[in-house]
Amino acid sequence: MQWQAEILNHTLENTFNVTVFYGQNKKLGNDGEIDIVLTTYAVVETAWRRQQSGFKRRGDLVKEKSLLHQIPWKRVVLDEGSYVVFRSMV
C-alpha cells in the first residue's frame, strides 16, 4: 500500500490508474485501463510457475495462463521491499 500512496501523493490527480494485484481478487481489467500494477514477487513467481509447470488439482496437472505474463509491459520496476511495479504500454 506504501507504493500506491506514494504514487497518488506525488502525481497529479487522475494521472495514473493504479491497481493492487494481490489477494483473492486478482483482476487487471481491459488493456489500457490500468497504468500501474502493484504486486509482490511471490504473486509474480506463483503465476509464472502455474503457467509454465502447472499444479495438481484433484490428481490432474492443470496449467493456467498468467494475467501478468500476457501483457507486453513497457517497464518493470523491482523494488527491494518485495513489491513489483509494472507500467503498461499505454
Write down the H helix ranges in 1-90: 2-10, 41-52
Question: In which residue are the cell numbers 494485484 written?
Answer: 21
The residue among 77, 78, 72, 75 whose CA lies nearest residue 87 is 75
Tens of pLDDT, residues 32-53: 678 888 888 888 889 999 999 9
- Of 37, 33, 32, which is closest to residue 7 (Cα–Cα)? 37
The residues spanned by each domain of the chain are: 2-87
Is the model's pLDDT at 1 over the cut of 80? no
Name the nearest CA neighbour of 63 among 85, 80, 48, 84.
48
Q: What is the rounded average pLDDT of the residues 52-81?
A: 86
One-letter identity of residue 45: E
pLDDT at 19 over 70: yes
